[in-house]
């Protein structure tokens, strides 16, 4: 449990002040030997618990867990194993993958004739199962982008950072990166929040070219460590996303947005405040940055980059309450 971070939201920020809520670090995308991971669920859960995480979502391909993993591998109030499923479809010859967080029943993949219809059908099925949908790694095999996600229906989360080495987060060859996709969706007026995940497959060896744990995570704010509370915090954007940068504070009183980084050694930081169209509104070279909100930005989000290449992202503030 992380009590070092303070987050104060004004009403226009979608998420009300959570009072005594705490922060919980977790991974939303994890594979085991139940699909194509190299380690059994108990080994995977133990790795995350031993490395300071408070929750992990087990998301084996097209397999919905039986809900018993928490009893076997979790620890009440300290470490949570959440049932999940990576719905893994193919449409138009492209992979279309979505995570279902905490479904109440069994889910099956629904392949359809187009990427858009496949996204929509699976988002709807995940919702019908009482689960939270996350659209996964859109640039994996260059499958789809902001245009398709903009027609995907009732989702509010997608992976802006997936730590598998083959998912092309940074774009290339003229194709947009995932942050550009995020800004395109936000600029259209969609309320979409950015997730970072490990997409863990390998624990037996640790190399840059392998899908190892510990490379992308979320830190959610909620009042209890339960699957329902974690899923609700994700849905409301009450979290930040990171590949290694830790935050001490994200605060807004409706007139300004303030971010404070937890410094690490001799690391230097760049804090970018970003608005409509991906425009950098302000840049600070400190561990604390503040931006005065005019109400004309459309939205304001923050990206923090450190001198070793690690990043953190806050969720967007929607200026003017729109």
- The phi-psi region of residue 181 (left if phi > 0; otherwise alpha if psi is between -120 and 50; otherwise beta) is alpha
Q: Please say which residue of 192, 209, 243 terminates a domain.
A: 243
Whether 171 and 39 map to the same domain: the answer is yes
Over residues 175-219, the pLDDT tens digits come to 999 999 999 999 999 999 999 999 999 999 999 999 999 999 999
Q: What is the CA radius of gyration of the chain?
A: 18
Residue 116 has pLDDT above 50, yes or no: yes
pLDDT band at 14, cuts 50/70/90? very low
Domain assignment present for 300: yes
Q: Across all residues in the chain, what is the average pLDDT? A: 92
Over residues 80-89, the pLDDT tens digits come to 999 999 999 9
Cα 89 to Cα 61, 98, 122, 131, 142: the distances in Å are 10, 9, 9, 18, 14
Whether 29 and 136 map to the same domain: the answer is yes
In whole angstroms, give the CA distance from residue 322 to residue 320: 5
pLDDT band at 320, cuts 50/70/90? low
Domain assignment present for 14: no
pLDDT band at 17, cuts 50/70/90? very low
Whether 319 and 235 map to the same domain: the answer is no
Whether 262 and 175 map to the same domain: the answer is no
Whether 215 and 309 map to the same domain: the answer is no
Q: Please say which residue of 223, 243, 263 terminates a domain.
A: 243
Domain assignment present for 257: yes
Give the total residue count for the chain.
322
Over residues 303-318, the pLDDT tens digits come to 999 999 999 999 999 8
Whether 179 and 267 map to the same domain: the answer is no
Whether 88 and 222 map to the same domain: the answer is yes
Domain assignment present for 13: no
- CATH number of 306's domain: 2.60.40.10
Domain assignment present for 213: yes
Q: What is the reported pTM? A: 0.93
pLDDT of residue 255: 85
Query: What is the domain count for the chain?
Result: 2
Domain assignment present for 10: no
Give just the sign of the alpha carbon dihedral 69, 65, 230, 39. positive
Domain assignment present for 9: no
Range of the domain at 256: 245-322
Domain assignment present for 57: yes
Whether 24 and 145 map to the same domain: the answer is yes
The whole-number average pLDDT for the span 277-294 is: 97
pLDDT of residue 142: 98
Residue 9 has pLDDT above 80, yes or no: no
Q: Please say which residue of 243, 262, 283 terminates a domain.
A: 243
Whether 164 and 45 map to the same domain: the answer is yes
pLDDT of residue 65: 78
In whole angstroms, give the CA distance from residue 82 to residue 203: 19
């Amino acid at each position: 449990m992380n009590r070092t971070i303070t987050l104060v939201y004004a009403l226009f920020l979608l998420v009300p002040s959570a009072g005594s809520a705490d922060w919980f670090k977790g991974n939303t995308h994890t594979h085991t030997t139940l699909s194509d991971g190299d380690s059994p669920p108990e080994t995977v859960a133990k790795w995350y618990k031993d490395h300071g995480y408070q929750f992990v979502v087990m998301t084996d391909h097209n397999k919905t867990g039986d809900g018993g993993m928490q009893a076997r591998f979790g620890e009440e109030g300290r470490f949570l194993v959440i049932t999940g499923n990576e719905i893994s479809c193919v449409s138009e010859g492209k992979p279309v993958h979505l995570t279902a967080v905490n479904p109440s029943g069994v889910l099956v993949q629904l392949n359809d004739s187009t990427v858009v219809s496949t996204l929509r059908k699976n988002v709807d099925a995940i919702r019908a199962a009482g689960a939270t949908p996350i659209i996964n790694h859109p640039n994996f095999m260059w499958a789809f982008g902001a245009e398709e996600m903009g027609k995907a229906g009732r989702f509010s989360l997608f992976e802006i950072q997936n730590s598998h080495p083959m998912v092309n987060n940074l774009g290339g060859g003229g194709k947009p990166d995932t942050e550009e996709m995020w800004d395109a969706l936000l600029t259209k007026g969609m309320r979409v929040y950015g997730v970072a995940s490990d997409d863990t497959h390998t624990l037996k060896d640790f190399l840059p070219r392998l899908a190892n744990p510990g490379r992308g995570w979320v830190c959610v704010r909620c009042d209890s460590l339960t699957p329902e509370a974690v899923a609700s915090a994700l849905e409301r954007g009450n979290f930040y996303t990171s590949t290694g940068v830790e935050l001490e504070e994200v605060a807004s009183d409706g007139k300004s947005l303030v971010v404070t980084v937890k410094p690490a050694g001799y690391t230097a930081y760049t804090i970018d405040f970003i608005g409509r169209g991906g425009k950098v509104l302000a840049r600070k070279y400190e561990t604390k940055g503040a931006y005065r909100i005019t109400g004309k930005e459309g939205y304001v989000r923050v990206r923090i980059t450190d001198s070793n290449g690690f990043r953190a992202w806050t969720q967007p503030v929607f200026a003017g309450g729109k």
